Chains A and B, each alone.
Chain A
Amino acid sequence: MQRSLIACFFRASLCAEGLVNEDVKRTLDLSSHLAKITAEIQLANHGASRVNGFTLALEAELAPHLAFIGVKGEEEEDESLELKETTVHGQSGKFFEAQLPSSLAPGAKLRVKVETVFSHVLKPFPTHITQAERQLVVFQGNHYLYSPYPTRSQTTRVRLASKTVESYTKLGNPTKSDETVEYGPFKDVPPFSQDAMKIHYENNTPFLSISSITRTVEVSHWGNIAVEETIDLRHTGAYLKGPFSRYDYQRQSDSGISSVKSFKTILPASAQDVYYRDEIGNISTSHLQVLDDSVEVEIRPRFPLFGGWKTHYIVGYNLPSYEYLYNLGDQYALKLRLVDHVYDDQVIDQLTVKLILPEGARNIHMDTPYPITRSQDELHYTYLDTFGRPVLVATKNNLVEQHIQDVVVHYTFNKILMLQEPLLVVGAFYILFFTVIIYVRLDFSITKDPAAEVRMKVASITEQVLTLVNKRLGLYRHMDEVVNRYKQTRDTGALNSGRKTLEAEHRTLSNDISALQARLKSEGSDLAEKVGEIQKLDNQLKDLVCRSCQEAERLVAGKVKKDTYIDSDKTLSGKRQELVSRIDSLLDAL
C-alpha cells in the first residue's frame, strides 16, 4: 500500500490526468479452470483537460497468465476499444492504453467494462490426489482493482465452482452464500493498491488444456478447404496419485470426478468427412451429430484423462470453399477462423496455424484480428505440385475462447494455373501410352533372330491362307443355296450365273492360295505341303459341288427320279462332309 502511494507520487503525470474510478464492480468467475475477471468501472474526469484515453493495469503476479483482455463500452453493441500495451515507469505489472472513441470532457463520466481471462492461475492444492478424492484449488489474487487511478468505491464478487470452500481471506468481513463470496464495498482505495486474496476451494471441473495445437488449412480452388488440427491435450489439475482402478471408475459415480471422459467439439455447419484419429489409427470412441448451425463431435479420448495424463489426437474435416473463399477476378480473399472451438472454456498454450494456399498464389497479405507472430513462409508439395504451394505459418501462445475470430488472407491467383494439374495428368498418360506404342511397334532386341522373323512371316501368310480357305468354303455354301433355290424355282439362268460366279471367284481364290503356298515354300516352311494338300482336297470338293449341281439339274430336268437323287445327294454330301472335316483338321494343324 505504502509502496503504491510512493509510486503514485512519482507518477505525478498519471494522477495529473485527474481520472478517478468512481464506482467499480469486479466479478471473479472461478467456476471453471480459468479465472475470468470482469470489472465494470465508472470513470470520471476530475481534471481540467479533456482525456482521450485511459490506462489499464494488471498485477505483476497475474500478468504472465493473461490470455485475453478486452474493454467495452457500457452498451452491448459498443465496439470494443483499441488497446495498446504501454509501460508505466516505476510500476510492476502490465499496462494497456485504451483509446476512447470520443474524448472525455472535464467532469464527464464514462462506464466501461474490462474483461480479462487468465489461464493456469488456479493451482491445485494438494497437487496430488487419489482417484477417490476431490480436487481442491487455490486462487491468489487482489482484493482491489489494480488501477493507476484512485478508486472511490468498489465491490468484489467471487463466483466459485462449489459450495465447499476450505478457506478464504477475510478482508472487510466478506459474506459467503452458496457458491459466491462478496467483498466490500471498499471506499477510497489509492492507486496501485494490492492486497492478497487467497481462496482455497473445491473445483472438480475438468482442468483440460491444450498444450499445443497445429491447425493446418489447405485451400484448393477446386472447391474444397481441408482443415486438420493436431492437438496435444493435458489434464492440468491435481495429479493422480496411486492406482487407477477401472472397477471403481465403472461402479462409483463420484470416482475420478475431476477426470475427463469426453468433451464436445463444435465444427462449422458445412464440415464434412470428419475424422478423429491418432498415430495408431482411428479412435473409435466418438460420435458425430449434425445440427442445423454446426456439427458437434463428441470427442472421447481413448482413455479417461486423469490429472497429469495427456493424449494426442488429430481431428480433420473438409469445408466447401464457396463459403469461405471470395474472389474478384484474380483477387482472392479467404476468410475463416484462425482458431476454432475445441471444447468449452478452452485454453491453448501454443497455437501454430499453417495456411496452405494454392500453387501460384502471389501477393499474399494476412489480416489477423489480433497480433500474432508470423514465421518464415514455407513451401508445401502435394498431389500434382511442381513448384510448391505457399504456406503461411503463424504462432501464438495462450489463447482462450475469445480468440475464436476470423482471419482474412488476400492473394492474387491467375486462373490459367487451374489448367496446370489436368494438363499434367493428360501429359503423363500421353507419355505412357506413347512409350507403350513405341515399345510395341519397334524392335529393340540387340540380336537378330531370323527364325522368329520367318515364323512371324509364316504366321501372317497362314493367316491369309486361312481367310481365303474359309472364303472358298463359304462359296460352296453359297452355291448350295443357289442350287436349293434352283430346285424350287427351276430358274436355269440363275443357276448358270451362280455357277459362273462360283467358277470365277473360285479360280481367283485358288490362285491366291497357290501364290501364298509358293511364298510359304520360299520361306522354307513345311506348311506349304499342307496347303498343297488342302488345295488337292479342295479340288475334289469342288468336283463334288459341281456334281451335286449337275444332279440337281438332272432332277429338275426329270432325268432322274427323286429317290435316286436323294440317295446320290446323300452320298455326295457325306463325301463333302468328310472332305470339309479333313480340310478343317488340316487348317487346325496350320
Chain B
Amino acid sequence: MAEHHTASDCKHKTSSNAGGSVSGNGRPNSPAGCGGSGGLSGGLTQPAGWQSLLSFTILFLAWLAGFSSRLFAVIRFESIIHEFDPWFNYRSTHHLTTNGFYEFLNWFDERAWYPLGRIVGGTVYPGLMVTAGLIHYILNLLHVTVHIRDVCVFLAPVFSGLTAISTFLLTRELWNQGAGLLAACFIAIVPGYISRSVAGSFDNEGIAIFALQFTYYLWVKSVKTGSVFWAIGCCLSYFYMVSAWGGYVFIINLIPLHVFALLLMQRFSRRLYIAYSTFYIVGLVLSMQIPFVGFQPIRTSEHMAAAGVFALLQAYAFLQYLKDRLTRQEFQTLFFLGVSLAAGVVFLTVIYLTYTGESHLPVMLRYAKIHIPIIASVSEHQPTTWVSFFFDLHILVCTFPAGLWFCIKNINDERVFVALYAISAVYFAGVMVRLMLTLTPVVCMLSAIAFSSVFEHYLGDDMKRENPPAEDSKQDRPEEGLGPNIKSIVTMLMLMLLMMFAVHCTWVTSNAYSSPSVVLASYNHDGSRNILDDFREAYYWLRQNTDEHARVMSWWDYGYQIAGMANRTTLVDNNTWNNSHIALVGKAMSSNESAAYEIMKSLDVDYVLIIFGGVIGYSGDDINKFLWMVRIAEGEHPKDIRESDYFTPQGEFRVDKAGSPTLLNCLMYKMSYYRFGPYTRLDFRTPPGFDRTRNAEIGNKDIRLKHLEEAFTSEHWLVRIYRVKKQENRQALDHKLRNIAAKQKYTSKKVLPSLFH
C-alpha cells in the first residue's frame, strides 16, 4: 500500500511538470519507489505507465462526473426532450431514423409555417441529427434496442465527456498535462456549459462545443508540427463543426486571426504555412458540402477574413522566397510594386463588396437588434450581466485572467492562439448571453493553467522540501522567502476555492439548468411534489382529438412543441425566418375578435392555442409576452396596431379595470380570461377573477366570444385551446333581403332564378 502511495505521489509530481515530458524526478523516501526495484512488474513500475493510468482515470472520472451531474432532470422528472428547439431537433431526428438520410435531406415539412412550409433539409445544420441517428443506427445494428428519444436525451451528456477530453488535449498542448487534467475537470462541471448540455437538451450546442474544442486542438497540433496529417484532421473536425452549428464562423475567423497575429509577430514559419494553407483549402471545400451553408464561405463577409489571410500568407511566403533569391535592391523595388498592387486589389474588393452590399452585415446586425423586435424579444439575445458571468463560471472568471497572463508571459505560437481565443470570446460573451457558451471552454483552460501553475509552485516545493534526507532538513533554510505555513495556507485556500466551485456548479446545475420546462413541478409545504403536466395534456389532446391536418395558431414560442408533441400544422415556429408571417399572427392576437377572425380565416386557422398562467401564477405566459406581439405586429402593420394603444394614459401595461380598452378587448385578452371572471376564488382574500401572475383583478369579466369557442383547457388552465368556428350556413334569405338583392342592377338576370328557386 505504501508503495502505491509513494508511486502515485511521484506520478502527481510528474503530471504537474512542465512540458509533460517523461521524467521521474520525484525522489521517493524509500529506495523502493518508482525506482523499479519494487515487485510490480511491467508498465506500472515505470512513471509513464502510472502517468497514463492516472490521466486515464482522471479523464474517466471527469466524464462520469460531467455525465451524472447532467442527469438531474432525468432523475427528477423523466427521460424527456426539454424546452423548445430540442423538440424540433428531436422531430427531425425521428424523421431521419424512420425515413432514412436522403429523405431527411429532401424533407419538405408542410406542417410548419402554414401555408408556406419549410425545406428542412436545406435549412438546418444536420450534424446533430445525423450524429444521433448514426448512434441509434449502430446501436440497433448491434441489437441494442434503444429508442431514438433516449439517444437524443443522453447525447449531450455523453458529448460533454468528449468535450472534456478534447479540452484536456488542447490544454496539454498549450501548457502541460496537469493543467489539461484540471481543465477537463472544470469543463465537465462548469454551469456555463451545462446550461446547454443537460440530459434532454438536445441542441446543436451540445455537440458543437466538442467539435469546437477538438478543431482547436487539431489546429494547435498542426501549427506545432506543421504536418499535413494534423491539418487534414483539423479540416475534418471543422467540417463536423460546420455541420453542427452556425458558430463555426467563430472558428473560421479565429484561426485566420491567429495566423495574422503570428505574421505580425514575425513568427512566420513553414509549419504555419502548411497548416493554414491545408486548413483553408480543404476546410473551405468541406464546409461548402453542407446544404445550409452552400456558397456562403465564398460569398459572405464573415468568411472574407479567412480568404484575406490566406492570400496574405501566400504573399508573405512568396516574398520570403524571393528574399532568398534576389538582391536587396531588387527586392525593395519588388516589395513596393507588390504593396501597391495589393493595395489596389484590396481597394477594388472593398468597392465590389460595398456595391453588392455584403459587407454591411455587422452594421445590419446592429440595426436589426435595435429595430427588429423579434430579435430583441429573445431573452438569450440580451447582453450579459456581471452576475451571470459569476453564476456560470464562478471562481474561474476571476482566475482566468491570471492564466492568460501566464500564457502571455511565456508566449509561443499556440499561446498566441489561446490569448486571441480568450479575448474574442470575452467580447462575444459580453454582447449576448447565449455566447457565454464559447467563452466557457477558454475560461476553463486558462483557469486550469493558472491553478496548475500555482499548485506547481506551492505543492511542488513542498514536496521537494520533504524529500531530502531527514538530518539534512534539520537545518531549515528559508526558501525564496516563503515559509511552509504560507505554502500550505495557499494550497488549502486554492483547494477550498475548487471545492466551493464544485459545490456551486452542482447547485447551479440542480436549480437553474435542470428544468425540462415542459413539465412543471411545485412543492407543497410538506415537501411533496405536484407535477403540472398541462402542456403535454393539451398537446396530447391536440394530437389525439383534432383532425390530422388541423392548423393551430399560437405564438411562435410554442411552434416546435406543437409540431413535436401534438404533431399538428403550425403557422409560425421557433425558426423565426419570416418576420411578416409572425407579425400577422401577432396582429391577429392583438386585434379585436372580428378583425382577428378575418385574419384567421385567411390563414385557415382551425385552433388557437394560448398559454395562460393566471390561475397558478406562471409568469411566462402569453399575456406577459403580449407586448412583444404588439411590437412585432406594429413593425409590419403600423396602421392597424399601435403599441401605445395598449398602455394606460400613464404608460402602464395593466390588465385590470384601469387598463386600456384596446387591451381589454383584444383577442389575446379575451381568450386568456374567457370564463375566468367568476373563477379563482381559491382563497377568500382575493376577489373573483383575480389574476395571480399579475396580481390584479381582471378588468373585463364578461367576455363573450363570437367566432371562437373553447375547445380545450388544461387542468390548471395553463394551456387554453379555442376552436375557430366555421362560418355558419347562410340563413334562408327572408323577404326583405330578396328585395334588396333585386335592386342590384348589375346582377345577371340569368343567375337570379337559379339563386332564388
Partner-contacting stretch, out of A57-65, A307-315, A407-415, A531-539:
A307-315
The answer to whether B144 and A383 have CB atoms under 8 Å apart is yes
- Given A281-B80, A285-B533: A584 and B27 interface contact (C-beta under 8 Å): yes
Partner-contacting stretch, out of B158-166, B292-300, B708-716:
B708-716
* CB-nearest residue of chain B to A590: B23
Could you mark each residue 277-304 of chain B with 1 if its beta carbon is under 8 Å from any beta carbon of chain A, else 0? Answer: 0000000000000000000000000000
The answer to whether A244 and B536 have CB atoms under 8 Å apart is no
Residue B25 at the chain A interface, CB threshold 8 Å: yes
Instruction: Report B177 CB to chain A, min CB distance, Å.
Output: 16
Could you mark each residue 375-394 of chain A with 1 if its beta carbon is under 8 Å from any beta carbon of chain B, else 0? Answer: 00000011111000000000
User: Which residues of the partner chain B approach A467 to less than 8 Å between Cβ atoms?
Assistant: 35-37
The answer to whether B544 and A244 have CB atoms under 8 Å apart is no
User: Which residues of the partner chain A approach B539 to less than 8 Å between Cβ atoms?
Assistant: 280
The answer to whether A383 and B143 have CB atoms under 8 Å apart is yes
Residue A581 at the chain B interface, CB threshold 8 Å: yes
Residue B489 at the chain A interface, CB threshold 8 Å: no
The answer to whether B78 and A246 have CB atoms under 8 Å apart is no
The answer to whether A302 and B536 have CB atoms under 8 Å apart is yes
The answer to whether A588 and B143 have CB atoms under 8 Å apart is no
Instruction: Report A262 CB to chain B, min CB distance, Å.
Output: 12
A302 to B539, CA, bound (A): 10
Residue A580 at the chain B interface, CB threshold 8 Å: yes
Q: Which residues, 280 to 338 on A, are CB-close (under 8 Å) to B?
A: 280-285, 302-303, 308-312
A396 to B543, CA, bound (A): 27
User: Which residues of the partner chain B approach A340 to less than 8 Å between Cβ atoms?
Assistant: none
Could you mark each residue 229-243 of chain A with 1 if its beta carbon is under 8 Å from any beta carbon of chain B, else 0? Answer: 000000000000011
> A381's contact among B145, B464, B714, by CB below 8 Å, is which?
B145
The answer to whether A310 and B537 have CB atoms under 8 Å apart is no
> A309's contact among B78, B79, B467, B545, by CB below 8 Å, is which?
B545
Could you mark each residue 721-752 of chain B with 1 if its beta carbon is under 8 Å from any beta carbon of chain A, else 0? Answer: 00100000000000000000000000000000
A383 to B711, CA, bound (A): 45
The answer to whether A244 and B710 have CB atoms under 8 Å apart is yes
User: Which residues of the partner chain B approach A283 to less than 8 Å between Cβ atoms?
Assistant: 533
Residue A169 at the chain B interface, CB threshold 8 Å: no
Contacts between the two chains (Cβ within 8 Å), count: 122
Instruction: Report A284 CB to chain B, min CB distance, Å.
Output: 4
Instruction: Report B663 CB to chain A, min CB distance, Å.
Output: 23
The answer to whether A281 and B78 have CB atoms under 8 Å apart is yes
The answer to whether A310 and B565 have CB atoms under 8 Å apart is no
Instruction: Report A210 CB to chain B, min CB distance, Å.
Output: 14
Partner-contacting stretch, out of A99-107, A191-199, A458-466:
A458-466
The answer to whether B36 and A243 have CB atoms under 8 Å apart is no
User: Which residues of the partner chain A approach B47 to less than 8 Å between Cβ atoms?
Assistant: 463
The answer to whether A247 and B675 have CB atoms under 8 Å apart is yes
A333 to B77, CA, bound (A): 39
A475 to B464, CA, bound (A): 20
The answer to whether A243 and B709 have CB atoms under 8 Å apart is yes
A245 to B713, CA, bound (A): 7
Residue A573 at the chain B interface, CB threshold 8 Å: yes
> B35's contact among A278, A281, A302, A471, by CB below 8 Å, is which?
A471
A587 to B536, CA, bound (A): 68
A584 to B472, CA, bound (A): 13
> B468's contact among A246, A280, A581, by CB below 8 Å, is which?
A581
Instruction: Report A283 CB to chain B, min CB distance, Å.
Output: 8
User: Which residues of the partner chain A approach B564 to less than 8 Å between Cβ atoms?
Assistant: 280
A295 to B710, CA, bound (A): 38
The answer to whether A463 and B46 have CB atoms under 8 Å apart is yes
Q: Which residues, 240 to 266 on A, are CB-close (under 8 Å) to B?
A: 242-247, 251
* CB-nearest residue of chain B to A471: B31
Could you mark each residue 459-484 of chain A with 1 if its beta carbon is under 8 Å from any beta carbon of chain B, else 0? Answer: 10011001100110110010010000
Could you mark each residue 515-551 of chain B with 1 if its beta carbon is under 8 Å from any beta carbon of chain A, else 0? Answer: 0001100000000000101001111110111000000
The answer to whether B25 and A383 have CB atoms under 8 Å apart is no
> A310's contact among B145, B545, B723, by CB below 8 Å, is which?
B545
> A244's contact among B37, B519, B713, by CB below 8 Å, is which?
B713
Residue B24 at the chain A interface, CB threshold 8 Å: yes
User: Which residues of the partner chain A approach B545 to less than 8 Å between Cβ atoms?
Assistant: 308-310
Residue B475 at the chain A interface, CB threshold 8 Å: yes
A519 to B207, CA, bound (A): 50
Instruction: Report A420 CB to chain B, min CB distance, Å.
Output: 13
A309 to B541, CA, bound (A): 9
Residue A568 at the chain B interface, CB threshold 8 Å: no
> B475's contact among A471, A577, A587, by CB below 8 Å, is which?
A577
> A281's contact among B24, B536, B538, B709, by CB below 8 Å, is which?
B536
The answer to whether A303 and B531 have CB atoms under 8 Å apart is no
Could you mark each residue 661-701 of chain B with 1 if its beta carbon is under 8 Å from any beta carbon of chain A, else 0? Answer: 00000000000000110110000000000000000000000
The answer to whether B143 and A385 have CB atoms under 8 Å apart is yes
A573 to B539, CA, bound (A): 84
> B540's contact among A280, A384, A466, A584, by CB below 8 Å, is which?
A280
The answer to whether A311 and B475 have CB atoms under 8 Å apart is no
User: Which residues of the partner chain B approach A243 to less than 8 Å between Cβ atoms?
Assistant: 709-711, 723
> B541's contact among A281, A284, A302, A588, by CB below 8 Å, is which?
A302
- Given A242-B709, A282-B78, A382-B145: A477 and B469 interface contact (C-beta under 8 Å): yes
> A302's contact among B22, B31, B537, B675, by CB below 8 Å, is which?
B537
Residue A576 at the chain B interface, CB threshold 8 Å: yes
Residue B238 at the chain A interface, CB threshold 8 Å: no
The answer to whether B472 and A580 have CB atoms under 8 Å apart is yes
User: Which residues of the partner chain A approach B464 to less than 8 Å between Cβ atoms?
Assistant: 584
A514 to B712, CA, bound (A): 91
User: Which residues of the partner chain A approach B144 to less than 8 Å between Cβ atoms?
Assistant: 383
A432 to B543, CA, bound (A): 46
Q: Which residues, 387 to 404 on B, are CB-close (under 8 Å) to A?
A: none
Instruction: Report B202 CB to chain A, min CB distance, Å.
Output: 14
Residue B471 at the chain A interface, CB threshold 8 Å: yes
Q: Which residues, 472 to 501 on B, are CB-close (under 8 Å) to A?
A: 472, 475
Residue B717 at the chain A interface, CB threshold 8 Å: yes
Q: Which residues, 405 to 464 on A, are CB-close (under 8 Å) to B?
A: 459, 462-463
Instruction: Report A495 CB to chain B, min CB distance, Å.
Output: 18
* CB-nearest residue of chain A to B536: A280
Instruction: Report A55 CB to chain B, min CB distance, Å.
Output: 45
User: Which residues of the partner chain B approach A381 to less than 8 Å between Cβ atoms?
Assistant: 143, 145
User: Which residues of the partner chain B approach A310 to less than 8 Å between Cβ atoms?
Assistant: 544-545
The answer to whether A470 and B143 have CB atoms under 8 Å apart is no
Instruction: Report A570 CB to chain B, min CB distance, Å.
Output: 8
The answer to whether B712 and A244 have CB atoms under 8 Å apart is yes
User: Which residues of the partner chain B approach A576 to less than 8 Å between Cβ atoms?
Assistant: 472
Instruction: Report A194 CB to chain B, min CB distance, Å.
Output: 39
A474 to B30, CA, bound (A): 9
User: Which residues of the partner chain B approach A284 to less than 8 Å between Cβ atoms?
Assistant: 519, 531, 533
User: Which residues of the partner chain A approach B679 to less than 8 Å between Cβ atoms?
Assistant: 247, 251
Residue A223 at the chain B interface, CB threshold 8 Å: no
A303 to B541, CA, bound (A): 7
- Given A243-B710, A281-B80, A470-B35: A588 and B25 interface contact (C-beta under 8 Å): yes
21 contacts between A and B (CB under 8 A): A246-B714, A247-B679, A251-B679, A281-B80, A282-B80, A284-B533, A302-B536, A302-B540, A303-B537, A308-B545, A309-B541, A312-B544, A383-B145, A459-B22, A463-B24, A466-B24, A466-B35, A473-B27, A480-B471, A573-B475, A580-B468
Which 8 pairs from chain A and chain B are nearest by CB? A246-B713, A243-B709, A243-B710, A284-B531, A282-B78, A302-B537, A381-B143, A467-B35
B interface residues with partner A (beta carbon < 8 Å)? 22-25, 27-28, 31, 35-37, 46-47, 77-80, 143-145, 464, 467-469, 471-472, 475, 518-519, 531, 533, 536-541, 543-545, 564-565, 675-676, 678-679, 709-715, 717, 723
A interface residues with partner B (beta carbon < 8 Å)? 242-247, 251, 278-285, 302-303, 308-312, 381-385, 459, 462-463, 466-467, 470-471, 473-474, 477, 480, 573-574, 576-577, 580-581, 584, 587-588, 590
Q: A244-B712, A281-B519, A573-B472 are in contact. List 7 more A-B contacts (CB 8 A).
A: A303-B540, A310-B544, A384-B143, A470-B28, A573-B471, A587-B25, A590-B23
